[in-house]
Amino acid sequence: MTVLSILSLPFVALLLSLWNSPVIASDYHENLLLQPLPQSSLLASFNFRSNTSQQSFDQQHFRYLPRALGQILQHAHTKELHLRFTTGRWDAESWGPRPWNGSKEGGTGVELWAWIDAPGDDEAFAKWITLTQSLSGLFCASLNFVDSTRTTRPVVSFEPTGDHSVADELHLLHGTLPGEVVCTENLTPFLKLLPCKGKAGISTLFDGHKLFDAAWQSMSVDIQPVCSPEGECVVQIEQTVDMVLDIDRSKRPRSNPIPRPVPNDQLVCDTSKPYHADDTCYPLEKMNDKAWSLTEIFGRSLTGVCPLADSDGSSEQSVCLRVPHERGVFISEAAEEFKKEDGFTRCFKLAPSTSFDLSIPQQPVNTEVPLDEPVLHAERTIVGHGQERGGMRIIFGNPSNTSAIDFIYFESLPWFLRPYIHTLRATITESNGLPREIPASDIIKETYYRPAIDRERGTQLELALSVPAASTVTLTYDFEKAILRYTEYPPDANRGFNVAPAVIRILDTAHNAPVYIRSTSLLLQLPTPDFSMPYNVIILTSTVIALAFGTVFNILVRRVVSLTEAEALGAQSLKGKLLGKLVALRDRFRGKDTKVE
């Protein structure tokens, strides 16, 4: 069998290449965008995109689309898949709007949503479980814990991005694991899905140490069918990795990663201060942009070009950098630089099989790359204290002075957090800074609410909201914390329970694609027993039963009579007499005296 299959391989390959030639859609692109951000951070945004024709996908002929993933999709009848691994938080205040408008990132931990083709809800859920179990194995993530309590079916928060045929009965299922720690074991399978597998091209920069040292990082896998107007369909897989690296931290050598205090002579001090002396230093924070190079930041250099990538036009320039054009940038000799018209972007064409490095010297900053203002600020916190009940507070700030903003707010809450929707209140703070309570219906256009069922499903709440210009809206509601069963607590119960981040989808006509924002995840403290308690209870009850039961039983069963009464009793019958004798004998034997005066 093995020999046969090996022998048949060249033939199959030949056949496949013949098959392949008429299909034009099979292609692969990869791109890296580097953008320095304020506060000495650097956004590195990797994008890998490949297409496979629907026909070859259906025939299980996989070239760029990884077979492992393709077969899972086919098995689970999944038409469109979105998988996100995220850690950290995006600091919108200093870093501006999110990369890809937030559409390629998830909430903290793992987030997965998919459109599944199934005749009914139950079948869809069964397929969904198949999908999560398989993905869990593929990505080394605890996705198998996405059970019915963590699965929701959002109504308006997500829309399919691919082009689906009308015949499909699509069901959207969405699951999150907010407590999942994303680490190298998720990166390795992620890299294996790439055609060049981290051996050539921009994916050679992935180093687990640097990637997971980032202040924020997000990995995503999106698979969707894309159809051209002519009706030719391809299955597109897009993998992205976005990370914000701290330049100072990344530049520290791995041999000496500890940020020890710098030697006295390397301190940058404000010498204009009158008290400035050898031992007194008012630190001067650097106003210049930091110098950095690819090798310093990523710990390795970029080797070659992925030979599978298309070598036509723009996709050839696989590394782009967004700094003002007047800034000097040094690149390796073999590479070519192309400056774009917008004045900030320049892209580099890399030479195959040579390593590429890029370095920016320290320069005074004259112009900066403009960062757009985020369209919406959102913050969600748990308020109140105590083990019994609490409150949720969500703040939406609209920075725009002119236009109101419409968006959809979606949150899925675990079943042990029981919200009281009737307590939903809205407070608006307009430009005068005075908070004013308004009826919630004034800003909530629509509500989709599916209450929780204990141990079966969580709460699903979707609100279509509108926040007026230059104002801040605060939504609050109260909730009650359920008491779990003894066995339902996780091993680290006292840490609290993670509540999945809320997803905000902004319906903005200015952007073609929707803008997504996710809040931070929350930690919910539930009433938690001291787990040594059950053992104490067992020990105590055993002792009490052993001591008390014996005594009480003794008192209940023993008959205390006076000597005369005993005699009278005993005299009644022969049996009694005998018994009395026996008892007397036994008592004497034991040296007991039951006589009562």
Partner 1 sequence: MALKSAIRNLRNNPHLLFVRLPNLLSFLCIVVGVVWLLLLPLNEYSRNTYISENALLPGQVHAYFTGSEQNIFRGYKRELEGLLNEGQERGGQKDEAEVTAAVSDKVLSILQAAGLKVATQKYEYTSAGITHQGENAYAIIHAPRGDATEAIVLVAAWKTADDELNLNGVTLALTLARYFKRWSLWSKDIIFLITPDSKSGTQAWIDAYHDMHPASVQPLPLKSGALQGALVIEYPFEHRFKSLHIVYDGVNGQLPNLDLFNTAVAIAGGQMGIGANLQEMWTHDDSYEHRLQTMFRGMTKQGLGYATGAHSSFMPYHIDAITLQPKGEGWEDEMALGRTIESLCRSLNNLLEHLHQSFFFYLLMQSQRFVSIGTYLPSAMLIAGNFTIMAIALWMRTGYYPETKPKTETKKPSDEKAKSNAVAERKLALPLSLVVGLHLLGLAPLWIFNNIFHQYFKTTTYIFMIVDITLPLLLSSLLSTPLALKSPIIPQQYHLIKSFSLLLLGLSLSTLATLNFSLSFMIGLLCAPLTFISRIQGSAPFRCITSALGLVVLNLLSPPTVLVGVCWYAGVDVETVLTQAAY
Beta carbon nearer to partner 1, 131 or 566? 566
CB 366 to partner 1: min, Å: 21
Q: What stretch of H or E contains 190?
A: helix 184-192
DSSP symbols for 241-273: EEEEEEHHHHHS-TT--S-PPPPGGG--B-TTS
Nearest to 219 by CA among 65, 128, 109: 109
From CA 577, how far away is CA 585, in angstroms rounded? 12
Closest approach, Cβ 86 to partner 1, in A, equals 9
With respect to partner 1, which residue has the nearer C-beta, 77 or 104? 104
Give min distance, CB of 393 to partner 1, in A.
6
* 51 bridge partner residues: 27, 236
Which residue type, as a one-letter code, is found at position 366? N
Residue with tokens 């999709």: 73
- Closest approach, Cβ 391 to partner 1, in A, equals 7
Are 523 and 496 within 8 A, CB to CB? yes
Beta strands in 89-204 (DSSP E): 109-117, 151-152, 170-177
What minimum distance in Å lies between the beta carbon of 517 and partner 1?
Answer: 14
**Tokens representing 82?**
């979105």
Q: How far is the CB of 73 from partner 1 (least distance, A)?
A: 30
Nearer to partner 1 among residue 110 and residue 331 (C-beta): 110
Q: Which of 381, 382, 417 is nearest to 396 (CA)?
A: 381
Q: For residues 26 and 525, which CB has a smaller minimum distance to partner 1 in the complex?
A: 525
Binding site for partner 1 (CB under 8 A): 39, 87-89, 91, 93, 108, 212-217, 246, 248-249, 258-264, 266-267, 269-270, 273, 275-276, 278-283, 285, 379, 381-385, 391, 393, 492-496, 498, 520-523, 525, 528, 530, 593, 596
Three-state SS at 55: helix
Q: How far is the CB of 208 from partner 1 (least distance, A)?
A: 13
Q: Which is nearer to partner 1, 363 or 427 (CB)?
A: 427
> Given its phi and psi angles, is residue 386 left (phi above 0), alpha (psi -120 to 50 degrees) or beta?
left
Q: Exposed, middle or buried: residue 385 (CB in 10 Å: 0-12, 13-18, 19+)?
A: exposed
Instruction: Round to whole Å and give the CA distance between 499 and 108.
Output: 10
Token reading at 138:
């593929």
Task: Report in angstroms the alpha-carbon separations of 402 from 392, 434, 467, 522.
Answer: 29, 19, 12, 32
User: Measured from the CB atom, is 9 or 268 closer to partner 1?
Assistant: 268
CA-wise closest residue to 248 among 46, 43, 39: 39
- Single-letter amino acid, residue 410: F
Shortest Å distance, C-beta 405 to partner 1: 20
Cα–Cα distance, 86 to 180 (Å, whole number) = 9
Q: Which is nearer to partner 1, 264 or 353 (CB)?
A: 264
Considering the complex, state which of residue 429 and residue 466 has its C-beta at the smaller distance from partner 1.
Answer: 429
**Is residue 395 exposed (0-12), middle (13-18) or buried (19+ Cβ within 10 Å)?**
middle
**Least distance from partner 1 to the Cβ atom of residue 192, Å:** 24
Q: What minimum distance in Å lies between the beta carbon of 390 and partner 1?
A: 9
Counting DSSP H helices and E strands in the chain, the numbers are 13, 28
Q: How far is the CB of 250 from partner 1 (least distance, A)?
A: 10
Residue reference for tokens 């204009």:
272
Q: Distances from the Cα of 204 to the Cαs of 140, 306, 311, 371, in angstroms?
A: 21, 10, 19, 29
Q: Which is nearer to partner 1, 558 or 575 (CB)?
A: 558
Query: Which runs of E-coded beta strand occur in 147-296?
Result: 151-152, 170-177, 216-227, 233-246, 292-293
Q: Which is nearer to partner 1, 187 or 319 (CB)?
A: 187
CB atoms within 10 A of CB 74: 12
| CB-nearer residue toward partner 1: 280 or 512 | 280
Nearest approach, Cβ of residue 167 and partner 1 (Å): 41
CB of 532 to partner 1, least distance (A): 10
| Residue number with CB closer to partner 1 (494 or 541) | 494
Q: Which is nearer to partner 1, 223 or 426 (CB)?
A: 426
